[in-house]
Structure formats: structure tokens, C-alpha cells
């Protein structure tokens, strides 16, 4: 995986450290508010729904469903050029939030509505990344 280090990487901070460390171990965790019970799309210093500071990370199913997607022929960073086109998708997670993430898949197979699951190579991808899953698994 000589390519990994060249991908742009998120800045690790106090808000996102737990999420990024979990991903390094191949786990998807989401930030849930202990007061209102809702989930944030990406880690925050306070609940974006109710402004509570009682936030915690919990294990997510790692599954979701593609809401819509684009096929990026011209990625922002040169480290992705050899892999273009890249599938970028809005993914609805059953935990109750939508995220934007890469789906590693043959573009011809990608459809809105298809179930996805997290990939098993967290060392390669800087952020939780998805692949197509079988129907019924989403």
C-alpha cells in the first residue's frame, strides 16, 4: 500500500480522535448525544441538535444504503488520480444520520438505493470507506 501515505488525511483533534482511532482498527463508531439521543454526521464538540455536551461514541453497524452518488473523474488530490473515477456517495446509516463517503466499487455496479458496508482495509483509507454489500444486508 505504497499509496496510502499520499492521501490527504484528516487532522486529528479532541473531537474526532475516538472516531479516527476506531477506524484504524476497522470499526465504525458514531457520536450520539446522551440527552436527545440523536447522532451527528461527523464528530462535534457539542450536539448539533440540542447543544448538549454529553456526547459519546458508540459502535455502528457499519452498514448503510446509497442515497445518491457521483462518479468523480477529476479528484481533488493527485494521490487519487490513478484510481479515478472515484465513487462518492451520500450514505444513509441506519443509526439515523447521512454521511458522505467513498464507495470502493466498479462504477457500473453502483446504484442509488444499494446497500453498502465498510471496507475491511482501514489501513488503506484515511476515513471510514464503504463497498457494495449484498441485498438484504443493508
Q: State the residues that interact with another protein by CB under 8 A.
A: 7-11, 16, 40-42, 48-49, 67-77, 79-80, 83-86, 88-90, 97-102, 112, 125-127, 129
Considering beta carbons, is residue 74 or 135 the nearer one to another protein? 74
Q: How far is the CB of 122 from another protein (least distance, A)?
A: 12
Considering beta carbons, is residue 42 or 57 the nearer one to another protein? 42
Neighbour-count burial for 85-110, b at 16+ CB within 10 Å, e otherwise? ebbebbbbbebebebebbbbbeeeeb
d(CA 14, CA 11): 10
Cell of 127: 476515513
Q: How far is the CB of 84 from another protein (least distance, A)?
A: 8
d(CA 88, CA 96): 20
Q: How far is the CB of 44 from another protein (least distance, A)?
A: 10
Amino acid at each position: 500500500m505504497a499509496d496510502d501515505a499520499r492521501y490527504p488525511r484528516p487532522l486529528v483533534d479532541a473531537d474526532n480522535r475516538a472516531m479516527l482511532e476506531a477506524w484504524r482498527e476497522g470499526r465504525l463508531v458514531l457520536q450520539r448525544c446522551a440527552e436527545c439521543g440523536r447522532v451527528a454526521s461527523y464528530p462535534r464538540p457539542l450536539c448539533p441538535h440540542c447543544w448538549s455536551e454529553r456526547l459519546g461514541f458508540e459502535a455502528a453497524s457499519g452498514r448503510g444504503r446509497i442515497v445518491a452518488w457521483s462518479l468523480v473523474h477529476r479528484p481533488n488530490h493527485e494521490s487519487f488520480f490513478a484510481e479515478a473515477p472515484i465513487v462518492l456517495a451520500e450514505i444513509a446509516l441506519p443509526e439515523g444520520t447521512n454521511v458522505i463517503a467513498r464507495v470502493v466499487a466498479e462504477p457500473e455496479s453502483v446504484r442509488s438505493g444499494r446497500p453498502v458496508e465498510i471496507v475491511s482495509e482501514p489501513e488503506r483509507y484515511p476515513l471510514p470507506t464503504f463497498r457494495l454489500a449484498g441485498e438484504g444486508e443493508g
